[in-house]
Amino acid sequence: MIRKAQVQDVVEMKHIIYNYARQELMLARSLSELYENIRDFYVYEVDGQVAGCCALHVFWEDVAEVRALAVKPDYARQGIGTELVRACLKEAGELGMKEVFTLTYVPEFFERLGFEVVDKNRLPRKVWSGCLNCPKFPECDETSLIKPMLY
């Protein structure tokens, strides 16, 4: 079941994200960052436990980012990530976003959901403020993708 995240989900969300961050597969998120952005997040719940999370972060009047997509390894390849991203895209449409972007090491996943690879310079400058926290900055090796929101 997908639902909006609640504050009691944050510690488990941090553990799920950290599993990938320590492998340098995604950016780590602090507890304070997760609490501050809790309204951005969806979680996928299985038997009362958080199995995955994903956020839609609005950057400007017409652009948002899908970020912090992570699923517990035991639940990988079961469609949970796809459902979480679709929930974010649905919300982006409801908010009137014209584009949704993401930065990822798994571009093929997002391409299956209609995202297209673009040059990082195509992304809004404000995006890079989050990159300052990344240990790989400024040598980013993630792929940037954008999905136009068609109405």
Residues 70-92 pLDDT 10s: 999 999 999 999 999 999 999 99
pLDDT tens digits along 113-148: 999 999 887 876 656 555 656 666 666 678 999 999
Taken in order 7, 9, 12, 13, the sign of the CA dihedral is negative
**pTM of the full structure:** 0.91
Query: What is the residue range of 86's domain?
Result: 2-148
Q: Can you read off the two tokens belonging to residue 101?
A: 């972007």
Contact criterion met (CB below 8 Å) for 85 and 113 = yes
pLDDT tens digits along 32-69: 999 999 999 999 999 999 999 999 999 888 999 999 99
Distance CA 69, CA 102 (A): 10
Contact criterion met (CB below 8 Å) for 99 and 143 = no
Q: How many domains does the chain have?
A: 1
Residue keyed to tokens 């403020």 = 129
CATH number where 79 lies:
3.40.630.30
